[in-house]
Structure 1
Amino acid sequence: MIQLYSPGTSAVHRLGAGVKLLILATAALALSLVPPSAWSIAGALAAVISLYALARLPLRVLVGEIWRLRWLVLVLGGALLVFVGPVAAWISTGRVIAIVLLASLLTLTTRMGELIEVLRGLLAPARRFGIDPESVTMTIALTITMIPVVAGFAAQVREAQRARGARSGLRGVVPLMVRTLRHADEVGDALAARGAV
């Protein structure tokens, strides 16, 4: 769902990382706390899509981001449709999609180094409570960068299953976990070799 930096010179790319984080946090808070309507959610989604256009990202990028959310839409939307009805299902699912697409836009238009610097600055006051800002920011950065890596592993596992004529299912979880844990070990070894842990 969340992609890494895509170079560009648009107004969205040039906007500071701190401002973009503030916009994301404000939008997520507003979408979560303000009682929405079906029309306001449609407006929020239209606004997020227009931000992708403002960032001058290719249409395939937006389509790819939406495609990655298909299972979330099917599972969450389907469950809500059954239990609370179509309007509430649209509002709740649309809210989640808007926030995730906005978070993806943040990582697509902001270098990881800039995000880390902003997060480190925000977490600096926590040092007086015994929290190490560098460790927390590194953990967040690793988490963000691992999401597309694990998604890539999942795609490779699916392709391997299709090549063997096997159906996708729970059997694909084991090789995905093995690849993910192996990659985590390699990252841990690299960090240890550099004295980062």
Structure 2
Amino acid sequence: MISLYRPGHSILHRAPAWVKLALLALIALVISLWAQDWWVLGAIGMLVGTGFLATGFGIGEFWRQCVALRWLVLIMVIPQLIFLGPELALINTTRVCIVVLLAALVTLTTPMAALLDVIERLVSPLARFGVSPTKVGLLLSLTITTIPVIANLFGQIREAMLARGGPRMSFRIVLPLLVASLQHGDQLADALTARGVD
């Protein structure tokens, strides 16, 4: 399983995993329901940037995470510009980018084992209904870590197309991205099967 965790001694590294997950969920909820104004998004964006600086990784890590989102931004902005107009397109794209950056911040500062433990405890009451807390925790953690992985795959494929003299943006990237994503899924499935997860 791919983990983005980077060891450190910052306050975010020392914070309990459940606190970080709760803040992630709370901020995502606030962004989804009330972040209609640019000043709200700007304030939350500054909070996210401050969080990256607090990790001790420096502004370079924050910039690297932002650059990794460039193709995701293009994919989201273009259809929304056509159907929703420029203001809504930019607001919605900014919302998604902030949530993805927050998820990256959580995974950078929290070992995956700690995230799994918190998620399993949260869903443990559902065990009486036949729900496996272990499988639910694994599914959610894989979802969190797969978002930046897919974005990275997109960047690699795009750079390969540019190196071959292809256009800057083309729908032909969809098929190789789909194939790479499925291959990544197969590799994860094989790794899980090898560890006895059915």
Report the TM-score, using the length of structure 1 for normalisation: 0.82
Please give the alpha-carbon distance, in whole angstroms, between the structure 2 residues aligned to 1:77 and 1:161. Answer: 21
Amino acid paired to 1:139: L
The answer to whether the 8 A contact 1:48-1:98 is kept is yes
The aligned counterpart of 2:179 is: 178
Comparing 118-127 with 181-190, greater Cα deviation is found at: 181-190
Amino acid paired to 1:119: I
1:115 aligns with 2:100: no
Comparing 131-140 with 109-118, greater Cα deviation is found at: 131-140
Please give the alpha-carbon distance, in whole angstroms, between the structure 2 residues aligned to 1:91 and 1:195. Answer: 43
1:65 aligns with 2:65: yes
Amino acid paired to 1:180: S
Please give the alpha-carbon distance, in whole angstroms, between the structure 2 residues aligned to 1:93 and 1:187. Answer: 29
Q: Deviations over 1:122-148 (max 9, x none)?
A: 010111121111111122222333334
The aligned counterpart of 1:105 is: 105
Amino acid paired to 1:170: F
The Cα shift of 1:37 comes to 2.7
Q: 1:93 to 1:150 in 2, by over 3 A?
A: closer
- The percent identity for this pair of structures is 42
The aligned counterpart of 1:9 is: 9
The answer to whether the 8 A contact 1:38-1:90 is kept is no
Instruction: Compare CA radii of gyration and give the structure with the larger one.
Output: 1
Considering Cα pairs closer than 8 Å and 6+ residues apart, tell me whether 1 or 2 has the greater RCO.
Answer: 1
The Cα shift of 1:63 comes to 1.2
Comparing 140-149 with 12-21, greater Cα deviation is found at: 140-149
The answer to whether the 8 A contact 1:42-1:94 is kept is no
Structure 2 stretches of 5 or more lacking a match?
Answer: none
The answer to whether the 8 A contact 2:6-2:109 is kept is yes
The answer to whether the 8 A contact 2:68-2:152 is kept is no
Comparing 142-151 with 122-131, greater Cα deviation is found at: 142-151
Q: Considering only aligned residues, what root-mean-square deviation do their CA atoms show, in Å?
A: 2.8
Report the TM-score, using the length of structure 2 for normalisation: 0.81
The answer to whether the 8 A contact 2:17-2:118 is kept is yes
The aligned counterpart of 2:194 is: 193
How many pairs align? Answer: 196
Structure 1 stretches of 5 or more lacking a match?
Answer: none
Please give the alpha-carbon distance, in whole angstroms, between the structure 1 residues aligned to 2:89 and 2:185. Answer: 36
The Cα shift of 1:118 comes to 0.4
Comparing 115-124 with 155-164, greater Cα deviation is found at: 155-164
Please give the alpha-carbon distance, in whole angstroms, between the structure 1 residues aligned to 2:172 and 2:73. Answer: 23
The Cα shift of 1:105 comes to 0.9
Please give the alpha-carbon distance, in whole angstroms, between the structure 1 residues aligned to 2:158 and 2:6. Answer: 26
Q: Deviations over 1:157-185 (max 9, x none)?
A: 33332333333523333333333323332
